[in-house]
């Protein structure tokens, strides 16, 4: 019992900086009540959550989003058969969070009957609000105020036998209003805001089986995925904020606009896996094939005035796209002695994306245009990874690894216009080699030290930001005793892509230390510090009215410090108090204002190469056990966000709750 209490306290401390509600302390006895042949452990917490936001409400909704109202903050129900021979089920585990109207809601359930079936279900809702992207002084588009709902159902028949059957269903949807934008009537025209009602649904059905033959387990799954995106777009109505053109430049106005672009697809797939675990070796393989295809239609019409002339533009696009993907993994693990482990992994990936898009445009200025596009993108990757681990003694162990990847990218852009066909095939191959070495020390059972380094080189990175010549260094020290746990890590990653005309280099270093300490069962403290330094420099080229500027660099510097601390104290036997604090601060490159650049950064980049922000959240929670079945909770949490160069994005939010936890 003491162990259970101890673990519970540690758990509450370690999950310190989660939102203040729901409360981690359930009401009622953990042993539960016996009813006939079942034992029932249950608890639910209901109460009122409040919030008061000053400053940018949009930014608050984007990063925190808790509101006001009565909530079923959390609940838990566990029903267990006492002899394992229940009539219809042997165990039900149900937990919920945030039901009522919290932006983050979930229900997780498992029902099982020994040897007969096991059913797992999860349902989640995530309210997603994004006010759009910020630029240096400008406002962003693509505002989203949507709800994502996800549910998964998995039924396993004969779960404890050598012959199992799997049935599954998943459903994911996104719906809600959104703002987007479109530029009319050409590349120099105005950008107009569009209103759309997002409607996306994705469904998956699964059927599978697992059996054993000659000591090898075979698992296969066949799935069908269907995707529908029926989001349409209309011109934002007059009077709606943002309905006027964004940053108007040319004499273009839009009287009407409507677009509909339904996009429906299906992704049937097969997955087969074999695996076996023997004394000297362990082997598994996985093979997948999916044949994704989408069919789409875009019907768009716009009417307005450009350069004092009436303009009508109708665009119809239709076509289909296919993406067959075949993959394979084969892993072999040898353990010739108890000290040596040799692991080899080979993987193959082959994806082809192909399809056609018939584009037809009628423009009152340019008359009709019809183009038929054919596109092809193929990626084939073969990779092999060999890893050796040698435990020289209980004190010291070594590891070494070598990784090789070979990738071939083939593309072909082809179009047919006015009877003329043009094609532009291209191919690029790339090889990556990397080596890794490390050593582990365990000088004392609670103490372990890990040092490792990885060096890699990439012959032909696809983008400047991809890994080129890179190396990564890692150090980790961990001390784990019964009442005290301390972890310290240091990571350094360097990457360089230097070629003529442009170059890209990045370095990041992360240092962190955290620990928790339990001083008797009444007092637990948990704290940590993390520093993440990122410095990148990339060659850029751009136009300024309309001169091509080359040889400039984009420099981005970020220095993020974050700390957290939490203290849990059992004031008296019935009263628990928790206080915590989190602060994240990006110090940027140290400049005090957006106007002063660093180095020789060109004018448009001065304001945006660093983005110092501070985000902090202190919280406190009080929980009082009134009797064995009732507990009262109250908590307060403050959120403060400050963007140094964008004062309008800042907010201060006072949130809190009071609730009762019941057990019956």
- Each residue 474-493 as x (binds another protein by CB under 8 A) or -, in order, gives ----x------x-x-x-x--
Q: Is 655 in the site for another protein (CB under 8 A)?
A: no
Task: Please state, in angstroms and rounded to a whole number, the distance separating the CA atoms of residues 575 and 621.
Answer: 11
Indicate the residue among 140 and 630 with the shorter CB distance to another protein: 140
Task: Please state, in angstroms and rounded to a whole number, the distance separating the CA atoms of residues 599 and 591.
Answer: 12
Instruction: Please list every residue from 374 through 433 that binds another protein, using CB under 8 A.
Output: 375, 377, 379, 381, 383, 385, 387, 389, 394, 397, 399, 401, 403, 405, 407, 409, 411, 413, 426, 428, 430, 432
Q: Is 314 in the site for another protein (CB under 8 A)?
A: no
* Burial environment of residue 235 by CB neighbours within 10 A (0 to 12, 13 to 18, 19 or more): buried
Which region, left, alpha or beta, applies to residue 158 given φ > 0 means left and ψ of -120 to 50 means alpha?
left
Among 260, 448, 507, 606, binds another protein (CB under 8 A): 448
Indicate the residue among 339 and 626 with the shorter CB distance to another protein: 339
In the complex, the smallest distance separating the C-beta of residue 248 from another protein, rounded to whole angstroms, is 9
70 backbone dihedrals φ, ψ, rounded to 5°: -80, 135
Q: Is 277 in the site for another protein (CB under 8 A)?
A: yes
58 three-state secondary structure:
helix
Task: Please state, in angstroms and rounded to a whole number, the distance separating the CA atoms of residues 446 and 517.
Answer: 14
Among 55, 67, 140, 618, binds another protein (CB under 8 A): 140
Indicate the residue among 436 and 631 with the shorter CB distance to another protein: 436
Beta bridge pairs of residue 453: 437, 473
Q: Is 89 in the site for another protein (CB under 8 A)?
A: no
In the complex, the smallest distance separating the C-beta of residue 160 from another protein, rounded to whole angstroms, is 6
In the complex, the smallest distance separating the C-beta of residue 407 from another protein, rounded to whole angstroms, is 6
Among 43, 146, 610, 659, binds another protein (CB under 8 A): 610
Indicate the residue among 134 and 660 with the shorter CB distance to another protein: 134
Nearest-5° Cα angle at 159, 158 to 162: 75
58 backbone dihedrals φ, ψ, rounded to 5°: -65, -40
Q: Is 533 in the site for another protein (CB under 8 A)?
A: no
Instruction: Please list every residue from 163 through 202 that binds another protein, using CB under 8 A.
Output: 172, 174, 180-183, 187-188, 191, 200, 202
Task: Please state, in angstroms and rounded to a whole number, the distance separating the CA atoms of residues 221 and 427.
Answer: 34
Instruction: Please list every residue from 9 through 38 that binds another protein, using CB under 8 A.
Output: 10-11, 14-15, 17-19, 31
Indicate the residue among 592 and 626 with the shorter CB distance to another protein: 592
Among 554, 606, 654, 658, binds another protein (CB under 8 A): 554
Indicate the residue among 55 and 464 with the shorter CB distance to another protein: 464
> In the chain, how many H helices and how many E strands?
3, 30
In the complex, the smallest distance separating the C-beta of residue 586 from another protein, rounded to whole angstroms, is 5
Residues in the chain: 664
Instruction: Please list every residue from 231 through 270 that binds another protein, using CB under 8 A.
Output: 246-247, 249, 259, 261, 263, 265, 267, 269
Q: Is 343 in the site for another protein (CB under 8 A)?
A: yes
Cα-atom radius of gyration of the chain, to the nearest Å?
30
**196: closest CA among 210, 181, 208, 183?**
181
* Burial environment of residue 2 by CB neighbours within 10 A (0 to 12, 13 to 18, 19 or more): exposed
Among 255, 460, 520, 574, binds another protein (CB under 8 A): 460
Q: Are 377 and 411 in contact (CB under 8 A)?
A: yes
Q: Is 72 in the site for another protein (CB under 8 A)?
A: no
- Cα–Cα separations (whole angstroms), residue 409 to 242, 299, 353: 42, 33, 11
Instruction: Please list every residue from 49 through 68 that binds another protein, using CB under 8 A.
Output: 62-63
The secondary structure element, H or E, covering residue 54 is strand 38-55
Task: Please state, in angstroms and rounded to a whole number, the distance separating the CA atoms of residues 160 and 167.
Answer: 16
Among 54, 137, 443, 599, binds another protein (CB under 8 A): 137
**185: closest CA among 372, 360, 312?**
312
Scan for tokens 């380094």, then name that residue. 453
Instruction: Please list every residue from 199 through 238 that binds another protein, using CB under 8 A.
Output: 200, 202, 210, 212, 217, 219, 223, 225, 227, 229
**379: closest CA among 307, 310, 429, 328?**
429
Q: Is 136 in the site for another protein (CB under 8 A)?
A: yes
Q: Is 628 in the site for another protein (CB under 8 A)?
A: no
> With CB under 8 A, what is the number of residues at the site for another protein?
209
DSSP string, 289-302: EEEEEEEEEEEEEE
Q: Is 505 in the site for another protein (CB under 8 A)?
A: no
């Amino acid at each position: 019992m003491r162990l259970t209490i101890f673990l519970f306290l540690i758990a509450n401390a370690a999950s310190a900086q989660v939102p203040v509600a729901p409360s981690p302390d359930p009401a009622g006895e953990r042993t539960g009540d016996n009813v006939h042949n079942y034992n029932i452990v249950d608890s639910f917490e209901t109460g009122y959550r409040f919030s008061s936001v000053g400053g940018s409400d949009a930014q608050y909704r984007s990063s925190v989003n808790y509101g006001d109202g009565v909530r079923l903050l959390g609940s838990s129900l566990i029903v267990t058969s006492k002899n394992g021979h229940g009539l219809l089920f042997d165990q039900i585990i149900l937990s919920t969070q945030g039901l009522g109207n919290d932006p983050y809601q979930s229900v997780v359930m498992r029902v099982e009957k020994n040897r007969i079936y096991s059913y797992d279900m999860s349902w989640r809702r995530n309210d997603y609000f994004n006010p759009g992207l910020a630029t240096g002084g400008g406002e962003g588009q693509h505002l989203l105020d949507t709800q994502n709902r996800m549910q998964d159902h998995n039924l396993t028949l004969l779960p404890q036998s050598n012959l199992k059957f799997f049935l599954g269903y998943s459903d994911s949807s996104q719906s809600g209003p959104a703002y987007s934008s479109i530029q009319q009537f050409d590349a120099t025209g105005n950008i107009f805001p569009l209103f759309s009602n997002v409607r996306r649904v994705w469904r998956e059905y699964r059927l599978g089986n697992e059996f054993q033959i000659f000591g090898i387990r075979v698992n296969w799954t066949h799935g069908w995925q269907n995707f529908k995106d029926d989001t349409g777009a209309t011109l934002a109505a007059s009077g709606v904020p943002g309905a006027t053109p964004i940053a108007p430049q040319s004499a273009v106005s839009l009287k009407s606009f409507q677009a509909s672009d339904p996009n429906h697809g299906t992704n049937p797939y097969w997955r087969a896996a074999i695996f076996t675990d023997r004394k000297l070796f362990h082997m598994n393989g996985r093979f997948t094939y999916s044949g994704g295809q989408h069919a789409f239609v875009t019907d768009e019409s716009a009417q307005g005035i450009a350069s004092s002339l009436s303009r009508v533009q109708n665009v119809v696009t239709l076509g289909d796209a296919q993406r067959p993907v075949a993959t394979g993994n084969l892993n072999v693990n040898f353990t010739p002695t108890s000290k040596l482990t040799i692991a080899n992994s080979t993987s193959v990936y082959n994806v082809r994306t192909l399809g056609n898009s018939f584009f037809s445009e009628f423009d009152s200025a340019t008359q009709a245009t019809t183009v038929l596009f054919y596109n092809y993108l193929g990626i084939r990757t073969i990779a092999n990874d060999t890893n050796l681990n040698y435990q020289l003694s209980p004190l010291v162990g070594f590891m070494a690894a070598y990784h090789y990847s070979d990738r071939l990218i083939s593309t072909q852009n082809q179009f047919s216009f006015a009877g003329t066909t043009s094609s532009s095939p291209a191919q690029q191959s790339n090889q990556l080699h990397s080596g890794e070495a490390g050593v582990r020390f365990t000088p004392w059972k609670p103490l372990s030290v890990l040092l490792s380094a990885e060096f890699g080189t990439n012959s032909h990175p696809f983008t400047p930001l991809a890994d080129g010549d890179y190396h990564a260094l890692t150090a980790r020290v961990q001390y784990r005793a019964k009442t005290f746990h301390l972890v310290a890590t240091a990571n350094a990653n360097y990457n360089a892509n230097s070629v003529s005309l442009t170059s890209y280099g990045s370095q990041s270093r992360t240092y962190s230390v955290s620990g928790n300490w339990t001083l008797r069962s009444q007092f637990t403290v948990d704290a940590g510090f993390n520093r993440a330094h990122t410095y990148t420099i990339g060659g850029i080229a751009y136009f300024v009215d309309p001169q091509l500027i080359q040889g400039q660099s984009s420099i981005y510097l970020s220095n993020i410090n974050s700390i957290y601390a939490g203290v849990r104290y059992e004031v008296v036997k019935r009263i628990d108090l928790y206080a915590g604090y989190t602060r994240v601060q990006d110090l940027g490159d140290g400049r005090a204002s957006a106007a002063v650049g660093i180095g020789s950064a060109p004018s448009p980049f001065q304001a945006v190469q660093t983005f110092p922000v501070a985000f902090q959240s202190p919280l406190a929670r009080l929980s009082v056990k009134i009797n064995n079945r009732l507990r009262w909770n109250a908590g307060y949490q403050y959120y403060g966000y400050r963007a140094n160069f964008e004062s309008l994005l800042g907010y201060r939010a006072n949130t809190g709750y009071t609730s009762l936890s019941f057990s019956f």
